Structures are given as C-alpha cells and as structure tokens.
Amino acid sequence: MSIKALIADDSGVMRKIIVRAATAAGISEITEAVDGADAIAKFGQEHFDLVLTDWNMPNKSGLEVIQEIRDTGSTVPIIMVTTEGEKASVLQAIQAGVSDYLTKPFEADALLAKIEKLSLA
C-alpha cells in the first residue's frame, strides 16, 4: 500500500533531510510545504497518511498546523521536528494533538525510527 506524507518546513535543507528519511522508510509519495499556511492548504487538497512539521515557520506555526488539522477531525499521525525542546513547548504540542516529537539536533536513525513507527501504525 502506498503511504503519502506531507512535510512542512521553511528550510529547504531540512525538508531534504526529512524527505531522505521518509524515502528510506519506504514512503514513496511525498508532498512538501514551505510554511504553515502552505501545509494547511495542501492538507485540505488530498489525503495524507503522515504529517511531519517544523514548529517555527512563517505565516502559520507548526503548532497552528497541528491545531487546524485536529480541528478538521483528522487523526493522521503528526510528528513535530523542532528546536523547541522545553517541557512547556512539548506539553503545548501534546495538548494540540501531536503524535510524536523530535528535537533538533537529531541522529538520522532517530528520525527514521519515528517515521517507520508511525507510518506502519
């Protein structure tokens, strides 16, 4: 079965790193979003099986992306990949409905493991 992932990060380099990990996890259909507003627009256009989002992005933050996706009633797995490592930030993301959380910097294997875990769930 083909798994479709949406990757939202304003850094092109970070998107490349996440795409590489998603591809290694066997995800063949990947849509990239350059900021939070782009992510919400693309999420509304098609079905996704997995979402990976940064926190600090222009136009809409990753936290807003999670909240808006959950407001649609979607239960899609969402992984936040971010520099925001404080307990208060992690708690905010959990309350917004994030499924998993990875703090930068990270080992490539750690990202791969989280993608594999949620894309196979």
Binding site for another protein (CB under 8 A): 10-14, 16-17, 56-58, 82-89, 103-107
| C-beta closer to another protein: residue 63 or 79 | 63
Rounded to whole angstroms, the Cα distance separating 115 from 73 reads 22
Give the whole-angstrom CA distance, residue 46 versus residue 104. 29
Residue closer to another protein (CB basis): 110 or 120: 110
Cα dist. 114→38, 40, 41, 61, 70 in Å? 23, 22, 25, 21, 20
Nearer to another protein, 38 or 76 (CB): 38
In the complex, the smallest distance separating the C-beta of residue 38 from another protein, rounded to whole angstroms, is: 15
Min dist. Cβ of residue 34 to another protein (A): 11
Using alpha carbons, select from 52, 39, 108 the residue that is nearest to residue 82.
52
Q: How far is the CB of 87 from another protein (least distance, A)?
A: 7
